[in-house]
Structures are given as structure tokens and as C-alpha cells.
Structure 1
Amino acid sequence: MKILLTTALVFSLAFFLFFISMSQPQNLYGTEYDVRVINGFTDNSSLPLVIWCSSQDSDLGGRALQEHDDFSWRLKTNLWGTTHFVCTMKWDRKRKSFEAFKVPRDVRRCSPLRRCSWLVTEKGFYFSNDEVNWKKDFSWS
């Protein structure tokens, strides 16, 4: 009786996990995404765009980006679906922190290529999943 009950419990748990994974395949543990932040300023040759990115588990460090330079990394989503990278941008006297990647927001909008790209300009921060079509997400202020 105990073996039958244990087998039924294991089968039920396996079915439940299979059902969850099929209903939200992008949330599977270990799904890889490429994140890229591009300096899209038109004339900041003497003043770089400074970027610093990190997550709870990883500090990617900082860079000074000249015109058209980029800062890129690849990440894997965690088991809990809480993978979250924040970048702080500094240009002249302006400073802005933003979520460069956050599972609940980005698993769908970065698809189908699993690419999350940001273009930072004087006017604001633009998002694209194909680096052709850009949509302004927010301004510096």
C-alpha cells in the first residue's frame, strides 16, 4: 500500500512539473539570454557613458563606453524565475539605474531570439529584441 501511494505521489509530482514546464517554457531553469547595452549618443567623444551592472549573484563591473561601444553579457535564468540585472548609467551629471533584465518582464519580450538590447541616447533608453525596431522605455529623468 505504501509503495503504491509513494508511486502515485511521485507520478503526480512529475506530471505537475511537466505541466508547469510546458505552460511556461521560457521560465525553465537555465534558459540563456543575451543582454546588450549600446552607447547611442551622437556626440559624446570627450565624455563617455559609464555603465555598471550587477545582479544578486554576480557583479559584472563597470565600463566607460565611447560612442557606439557596447557592454554585453549572457545570462541563464535561475530555478525560481527571479533572475534580475540592474545597470546604473552615468553621463555628465545625469545618473539613472534601470532593470536591464528581469524575468517576469523580459522572458516574453526578448523572444524569439532571447536577445534584450538597450540603446542609450541623450533622449532616453530604448529597448529592442532584434536591434532593428527600437521602442523608448523611459527617459533620463
Structure 2
Amino acid sequence: MKNLKFFPIILCLAVLIIMAVLAVMQPEHLYGGSKYDVRIVNGFTNNSSLPLVIWCASSERDMGGRALQEGDDYSWSLETKFWGGGHESNIFCTMKWDRRRKRFDAFRVSRDCRRCSPSKLCLWLVKEDGFYFSNDSKNYHKDFAWV
């Protein structure tokens, strides 16, 4: 009977430990429930005859596609799901330019909740030599090449 008075304390500690372990294993669960703006910009210097073709989707919905001329953008807002992440918040896009084709994660909860903060802005600038990322529209860094 004496041991039962510590049961609520032990139970609370166990729940806190489980939550901490889940947060370490799947950090996206801590960052759910926020709205993000994602923008992909055609940053080519001269592609007036060959547009950048983009098509985006999640596992739950097709967002459609567009042909982007120089300087055009394709953008959307999404809200991550709190405590569950979900696949809806993970958006992938397929880009096609001339004979090049690249599929990439335009927004992935586990990667972008941190790096798009505090502005909640995820910007992609697609150029001839690769894909550049920014969260402030001023400082871009190359994330990966077309190949």
C-alpha cells in the first residue's frame, strides 16, 4: 500500500521519458502544427525557349504542375500536423528542364521545420547548376546538383 503513493510520480516520469525518446527518434513530432510557405523559383539566366517544368505532390494529394519561365515561381502554403507529422506535410517535386530530370523533397517535415524557421519560409532557387535553398530570400546555399 505504501508503494502506491509513488505510482503517479513514477507514471509521470515514465511518460516524460517516452516523450523525450520519441522526440529524439522523430523530431518532426515536436514541430508539428505550424504553417509554412514554400516557393520554388526558376532562377535560370536565359531559358526563354525552354521552360522549367515542375510537378509536385504528397502521398495524399496531387498538387499539379506548371511550366515556369525565367523568374516565375510555384508556391504554396502547408500546415504540418501536430503529433503525428503525417505524409501530407512531406511534399516532393519533379523538375524537368531540357533532358534533365530531378525529383526532390521540396518540403520534408523532419528536415525543414528547423531550417525554415523562424520565418516559416522555405525558398528554392533552381539554376542551371543545381538547387539552392534559403529561408530569408537573401542568403542562398546550394543544396544539390541536377545529377
Q: Tell me the TM-score normalised to structure 1 length.
A: 0.81
Deviates more, 1:91-100 or 1:27-36: 27-36
| Count of paired positions | 133
- Equivalent residues of 2:132, 2:144 under 8 A apart: yes
For residues 28 and 111 of structure 2, the distance between their equivalents in structure 1, rounded to whole angstroms, comes to 15
Local SS of the residue matching 1:41: coil
Distance 1:44 1:31, change over 3 A: same
Q: Tell me the TM-score normalised to structure 2 length.
A: 0.78
Shift of 1:57: 1.9
Local SS of the residue matching 2:113: helix
Residue number in structure 2 paired with 1:5 = none
Superposed, 1:100-111 pairs within 5 Å as 100-111=106-117
Match of 1:42 among 45, 48, 57: 45
Identity of aligned residues (%): 57
Shift of 1:112: 0.7
TM-align CA RMSD: 2.8
Local SS of the residue matching 2:111: helix
Distance 1:116 1:26, change over 3 A: farther
Shift of 1:12: 4.3
Could you list the runs of 5+ residues in structure 2 that have no partner in the other structure? 1-7, 21-26
Shift of 1:25: 9.5
Could you list the runs of 5+ residues in structure 1 that have no partner in the other structure? 1-7
Shift of 1:27: 3.3
- Equivalent residues of 1:29, 1:77 under 8 A apart: yes
Runs of 4+ in structure 1 displaced over 3 angstroms? 24-29
